[in-house]
Amino acid sequence: PDTDPADLENADLPILIVEGEKKCLALHRLSLESGEGVLPIAIAGVWSFRGVVGKDNDAKGARCNVKGIIPDFDRIQWDGRSVGIVFDSNVHTNESVSAARNALTRELKRRKAKVYYVNLPASVGLNGVDDFLASDSHGPEYVLGLLRSERSRRSIRSRLSKNERGERPDLFVCKTMNEWLKGAGSRPKPKPLFGPFWTSGEIALLFGDT
């Protein structure tokens, strides 16, 4: 509500993408009340950035749907823009949600956006960003701190990519040990692939005699 259409073209205004309209409204209120200038955007579900974009004929001549990125995305200036994806905390445990975030990231980077993730913790019994904003144990200040810290990390990685890493952006992700431990604790237990040697999600090299 009351969003200036010019904000869609303003690449200096950061974007936050959430799954669900209520979460968008909650971030919109946070932006107004805190003075934190962001443009929150909702997709109806994690895969809803894709949909039916036209009609065509299949190999047998029958009419069929053509699927792709919804045309709403073409209304937004993405090039050079800072875009945070704030999916629900189940992104850590739900493979479909995680895959959707990765696919959305690839599309946004194809449009030359500067993408980063705002990871809501999965271990506190809350799911969406609206839950965190309404929670007595977290609230607006917690969410603002999370948004600012993730944006700061994104800015640091961007500077490193320009000044120290040449053409290798995001080679390192820097976090405190507590942050790594907290993130690892929220992930599902790895599946064993070969005895105790290999588990899912790892890259391993096995050497032996010929």
Mean pLDDT of the chain: 85
Torsion, Cα 4 10 15 17, to 10 degrees, reads 70
Q: What is the pLDDT of residue 161?
A: 55
- Burial of residue 122 (CB within 10 Å: 0-12, 13-18, 19+) is buried
Query: If you average pLDDT over residues 125-146, what whole number do you get?
Result: 89
Per DSSP, the three-state class of 5 is helix
* Whole-number pLDDT of residue 208: 85
- Specify the higher pLDDT residue, 161 or 207: 207
For 54-80, how does the pLDDT look when each residue is reduced to its tens digit (9 = 90+)?
888 888 888 888 889 999 999 999 999
Q: Are 126 and 120 in contact (CB under 8 A)?
A: yes
pLDDT bin (cut points 50, 70, 90) of residue 148 is confident
Question: How is residue 91 written in tokens?
Answer: 């992104």
What is the pLDDT confidence band of residue 25, given thresholds at 50, 70 and 90? very high
Do the beta carbons of residue 72 and residue 5 sit within 8 Å? Answer: no
pLDDT of residue 165: 45
Distance CA 102, CA 50 (A): 13
